[in-house]
Amino acid sequence: MRFDHENTKRKYPLAIVILAAGMGTRMKSNLPKVMHPLAGKPMINWLIDTAEGLNPEKILVVVGPDMPELEATIAPHQPVIQQVRNGTGGALQCAMPFLDGFKGNVLVLLGDTPLLSQDTLQHLIDVRNVDAMTGVSVLGATMENPTGYGRLIEKSDGTLRHIVEEKDASDKERAVKKVNTGAFCIDALRLPKWLGKIDNNNAQGEFYITDLPYIAAEDGFYTRIAMAHNTAETQGCNTRSDLAALEGELQKKLRKNIMDQGVQMLDPSTVYVHYDTVVEPGTLIEPNVFLGPDVTIKAGCHIKAFCHFEGVVIHENVTIGPFARLRPGTVLEENVRIGNFVEVKKSKIGARSKVNHLGYVGDCDMGEDVNFSAGAITVNYDGFEKHQTVIGNNVIVGSNSNLIAPISIDDGAFIAAGSTITEDVPTDALSISRDSGKIREGWAAEYRRRKAAIAKKITNKKK
């Protein structure tokens, strides 16, 4: 059956109920299923963010009695406690007191189906609004492998006869590839009556929300199927493998958004981003880069292969890597250069400064045009507390030097290679602390001769 949505779009008040009380036993996890993160944000929050975009009157989330962290993450929306997990129908029943007197549409979503888009949900609502006799709309999808999903059994006119759960299905019904994605839009006025008729005579002994279409039909109402155009977003999450599949889908979408902004990725599938990652146009990202939470990369940067960033702000035209690790609290100003095997933590590095090879910069405020040479490190931890290193502008920190914090190196100072510096260094001074070394003429030749003689003796003995 086809509908012309533009002609049929009627606006009714909307309430959204998200079912999320299940234990998620198939995940084999201590965390409630819907709390598992996708791109660093709990699954349930992806769905709530989308739900908010539909401007509903209210969003209710059905949770278990023992899920305080879930209640916290859905705030300020209303948690509804389902004391006994007796099925999706039972879960929706728990929300009914909060919908007393509500007229309009009730959109029911499953907390473990987090990638649904706003357009898809709007389509589901529009299909329910087609006519007054359509009491329910169900979001359907065609799945090549429908295992685990309820199957949509249609009437000859294309409306829905009923939904059969996999465990209750005959072989013929199991062969059906049109599935229930779990999202329903229901006439709020009739919902309490229909819900009251659900029983638990089925393979799992649970109250199934999927009985609603059948019950509505008995009352003389249609259930229409709204087909999802993008099957990938309708995938549910029951197992760790499902979670990984959802993560893959989401990463594809997030990376595309970033690339659409004018960012180049040489091998996108190897770049992992977070929900809050910001990358500005003209930046190039090489393969195998991990962008953790709270990362901003401004325009024109070059992120070379195998980098790992969390909690950083990288200003324009910075080059980093390969193999660099930037930890939380790091700010790199314009044109900074961070090379291979460098770690930076909780530090600001001023414009045009270079930390090119094998260094550690922690708890440091570094000025502009500094050269922090190979193998130099800030020694920021005394075993009990962290201490600050302050480096001025135009400083040269020689290779393999140790700056024992707290310490301050003023503008233009020069730290000689191999020095361990414990005292503040004034402007334009040299600080050097190393053995001047000894030369012993001919020592190496003599050493080699003695070693060769010993080796010869041992071989002769063996003979």
Residues that bind ligand UD1 (CB under 6 A): 19-22, 62, 82, 85-88, 90-91, 110-113, 149-150, 163, 165, 179-182, 208-210, 236, 238
Q: How many helices (H) and strands (E) does the chain have?
A: 10, 38
Smallest gap from residue 247 Cβ to Ca ion (A)? 16
The β-bridge partners of 302 are 284, 319
What residue has token string 């389509």? 123
Task: Residue 150: name its binding partner from ligand UD1, Ca ion, none (Cβ under 5 to 8 Å by kind).
Answer: ligand UD1
Give me the phi and psi of 132, to 5 degrees please.
Answer: -70, -25
Smallest gap from residue 195 Cβ to Ca ion (A)? 20
Interaction pattern, residues 90-129, with Ca ion; x per rule: CB under 5 A: ----------------------x-----------------
Comparing every residue's Cβ against Ca ion, the nearest one is: 236
Comparing every residue's Cβ against ligand UD1, the nearest one is: 150
Question: Is residue 366 left, alpha or beta, with left meaning phi > 0 and alpha meaning psi from -120 to 50?
Answer: beta
Strands (DSSP E) contained in 200-253 are 222-227
What residue has token string 């001047």? 436
DSSP 71: H
Total residues at interface with Ca ion (CB under 5 A): 3
Smallest gap from residue 49 Cβ to ligand UD1 (A)? 17
3-state secondary structure of 214: helix
**CA-to-CA dists, residue 114 to 48, 257, 415, 444, angstroms:** 9, 18, 55, 70
Nearer to ligand UD1, 91 or 188 (CB): 91
Q: Please give the full DSSP string across 184-215, using - where no structure is assigned.
A: EEEETTTHHHHHTT----STT----GGGHHHH
Distance CA 314, CA 290 (A): 15
Interaction pattern, residues 179-218, with Ca ion; x per rule: CB under 5 A: ----------------------------------------
Binding of residue 150 to Ca ion (CB under 5 A):
no
Nearer to ligand UD1, 165 or 343 (CB): 165
Could you say which of 123, 162, 229, 357 is catalytic? 357
Nearer to ligand UD1, 149 or 372 (CB): 149
List 87, 89, 236, 398, residue binding Ca ion (CB under 5 A): 236
Q: Which of residues 237-256 bind Ca ion (CB under 5 A)?
A: 238
Give me the long-range contacts of 424-429 (CB less than 8 A, separation at least 24): 427/392
Whether 199 contacts 210, CB under 8 Å: no
Nearer to ligand UD1, 94 or 397 (CB): 94
Cα torsion at 437, 440, 442, 446 (round to 10°)?
-100
Distance CA 39, CA 152 (A): 32
Strands (DSSP E) contained in 111-195 are 134-142, 151-154, 160-164, 178-187
Distance CA 255, CA 235 (A): 19
Task: Residue 208: name its binding partner from ligand UD1, Ca ion, none (Cβ under 5 to 8 Å by kind).
Answer: ligand UD1
Task: Residue 21: name its binding partner from Ca ion, ligand UD1, none (Cβ under 5 to 8 Å by kind).
Answer: ligand UD1
Our answer to whether residue 36 is catalytic in this structure is no
Distance of CA 12 to the CA centre of its chain: 34
Distance CA 428, CA 367 (A): 14
Distance CA 112, CA 204 (A): 19
Give me the phi and psi of 289, to 5 degrees please.
Answer: -120, 135
Smallest gap from residue 341 Cβ to ligand UD1 (A)? 44
Q: Which residues bind Ca ion (CB under 5 A)?
A: 112, 236, 238
| Catalytic residue set | 357
